[in-house]
Amino acid sequence: MRQESIKLIMSLNGDDIEKYHLTSLQGNLATLMKPIGYKNLVSNENSSIDGSLILCSPSMRKAQKRDLSLKFLIKSASLLDLQRDTDTLVNVLISGKNGSGLNELHVPQLCKTFRLVFSTIDSYSNYGLDGWATLSIKFTEPDPTNTAE
């Protein structure tokens, strides 16, 4: 199996992620390219029929929201700067683009802009006192069909 070898270029709400001292880590491409899921079919089961009665056309199924965890390396000059940079990043993610709470993550290699709502930083690993850490940011994509190209 071929390893992910390209460096993803990303911008967050119009700014290159390097502004926030971030570098995309391996696995983000696969996470973003994973096919969207669909809502369950609505069916009716009753004792007067065999099987189930599907109440809506399977071809009319709608996409369900999805949760994504994206991994980044954050590099700062010192441990104090790392804390400040992480706090700044969290505030930017909470505010979203233009204070809307919705973040736009643009990935030129995919020709897509993903619209994501920040949930939490679900993992964080500090590399001692040098100001480097890896973090996994959890987002919710409320409507995976609403991506700009």
The count of other CB atoms within 10 Å of the CB of residue 74 is: 21
User: Whole-model pTM?
Assistant: 0.83
Distances, alpha carbon 102 to alpha carbons 33, 56, 87, 91, 137, in Å:
20, 31, 18, 12, 14
In the predicted structure, residue 7 carries a pLDDT above the cut 70: yes
| Residues 117, 28, 112, 132, CA torsion sign | positive
In the predicted structure, residue 53 carries a pLDDT above the cut 70: yes
Say if residues 107 and 114 touch (Cβ distance below 8 Å).
yes
Q: pLDDT digits over 98-115, tens only? A: 999 999 999 999 999 999
Instruction: Collect all residues with Cβ–Cβ distance below 8 Å to 81 and sequence separation of at least 6.
Output: 131
pLDDT at 6: 66
